Amino acid sequence: MKEDFRHLGLHSPLYLLGKIMGAKFYYYPMPIGNQLKTISIEDLGEFYSDWEYTSGSGVTMAGKMQTSVMLNREVITISRDRLAGGENIAMQFKALQNHLDRGYSVAFSADDTKSFCYPVASLPVGGDQSIQVFSDPFRNMTGTNTPSSNDYMVLETAPPAALHEVVKVNTLSSGFSALQGGTVNTVYTVNFTYPSIAFLRWYRFFPTLKRLEEDRGKSIITSEHGLTWSLELRLTPDYSNLYSFHPNFEQDIPSNLLEEGLVVGQAEIFDRPSVNLDNPPPMQEIDANLDISNNVSWNNWRNWGN
């Protein structure tokens, strides 16, 4: 699957409508991570994603083909030729590269007014047109913007064999907010039935990205005669970090948990300096009276790969 916008020029309808502008990077410089740094660029030259798979297929004696997927991940390519801001912004990216090359995380949005990501509260079933979500755990980093009608949002679980689809927003429930969450009603029905914790995020916002191992050390900033500066880098989600921000990460409880006392991890996580993209919040203990003995762990995939 690949989103490719390389054919779009500065006067394309998508550009003029503001769909590919106002891009922003967010990160907490490590090892201390005690401050938020952002880098804004006015638009993107390229922005697309590919999927990498590590898998194996075999055929049984009865002729049945079976496939096992060991790894799948999205790889995002971001580039911008001749950055506005010149050398000043290029040097900000130099610091970001050092942070990334030492193995730490960055968040990115192609439009900073749509930097939102919600943990799904009730696991969707194929055919649903309403998705219930918790509050946005990244709101203190990105702001309190919420989805709008016709926004596209990714609904996904973590690898291995991650489920991934894009839904289109129709309406939001009354009182929906980044602080409280609520219900997202979609234009089309959900395709898959989700067996494990999921996130719903704007499809061009990625909360926890890291640099690919093979790219480490390669400059993300290039210069033409020291006069103009360009950006190009590839990033991939750190799924473990991302799903650590889900309130039900440790228990992965497949049920409605909006009743008071049954939701974990609802604190203002970014209020504490020790919590950032590379130090997810420790989750609280769930109600001891709640029976979770029959729940399946998030990475227990029945019939996955068949």
Comparing CA positions, the residue from 165, 136, 158 lying closest to residue 268 is 136
**Run means of pLDDT, 10 residues per run, the chain, 306 residues:** 44 39 91 92 87 83 80 89 85 96 96 96 94 94 94 93 93 94 96 94 96 94 84 94 86 46 46 79 51 42 35
157 and 231 belong to one structural domain? no
What pLDDT shows up at residue 273?
Answer: 65
19 and 147 belong to one structural domain? no
Comparing CA positions, the residue from 277, 245, 293 lying closest to residue 133 is 245
Domain hosting 75: range is 1-55+64-111+205-237
97 and 214 belong to one structural domain? yes
189 and 220 belong to one structural domain? no
pTM of the predicted model as reported, rounded to 2 decimal places: 0.78
Look at residue 33 and tell me if it is in a domain: yes
45 and 162 belong to one structural domain? no
What pLDDT shows up at residue 119?
Answer: 95
What pLDDT shows up at residue 274?
Answer: 78
Look at residue 286 and tell me if it is in a domain: no
182 and 124 belong to one structural domain? yes
Look at residue 278 and tell me if it is in a domain: no
93 and 195 belong to one structural domain? no
